[in-house]
Amino acid sequence: MEIEEIKKGFVERLRREMTKKGFDVDGRKMSAFAKAFKIPSATVHSWLQGRNLPNGEQLVILCEKLECSADYLLFGTENERRRAIRREEDRLIYDLLKILKIPKQELTLKVKLESLDDAKIKSEAQIDD
């Protein structure tokens, strides 16, 4: 993967994650984003224009504040994010079973997720009371 491809993908994912957190990618809210992350506005602007990528320290701050992985921001890999979502779904189902007082049983979930390359990912989670 060439550096220009990485930059282009990074810009798209950074914009998406900023928007999810309520930060606009232009104007005053971009400045608010930079201020909240303690990163110069000019630096954030250069990222959003695809001129530069964050250094290691900046990337750590971004990932922590945006609640995503560096792998995701730089390369679009979502495996870590998917695993976290599945763990949370499993926990919620387990809690729901306890609330509904469903008898002790084994529950199997089959989840099919489409990845970026249209491959199917199959996941099975077993929940025991």
Q: Are residues 60 and 114 in the same domain?
A: no
Residues 57 and 95 in one domain: no
Range of the domain at 8: 3-75
Residues 100 and 70 in one domain: no
Do 96 and 69 fall into the same domain? no
Report how far Cα 77 is from the mean position of its chain's Cα atoms: 9
- Domain holding 14: CATH number? 1.10.260.40
For residues 105 and 121, membership in a common domain is answered with yes
3-state SS track over 43-103? HHHHHHCCCCCCCHHHHHHHHHHHCCCHHHHHHCCCHHHHHHHHHHHHHHHHHHHHHCCCC
pLDDT in tens, 38-51: 889 899 999 999 99
pLDDT of residue 121: 37
Burial class (CB in 10 A: 0-12, 13-18, 19+), 23: buried
pLDDT digits (tens, 9 = 90+) for 15-69: 999 988 888 777 666 788 888 888 898 999 999 999 999 999 999 999 998 988 8
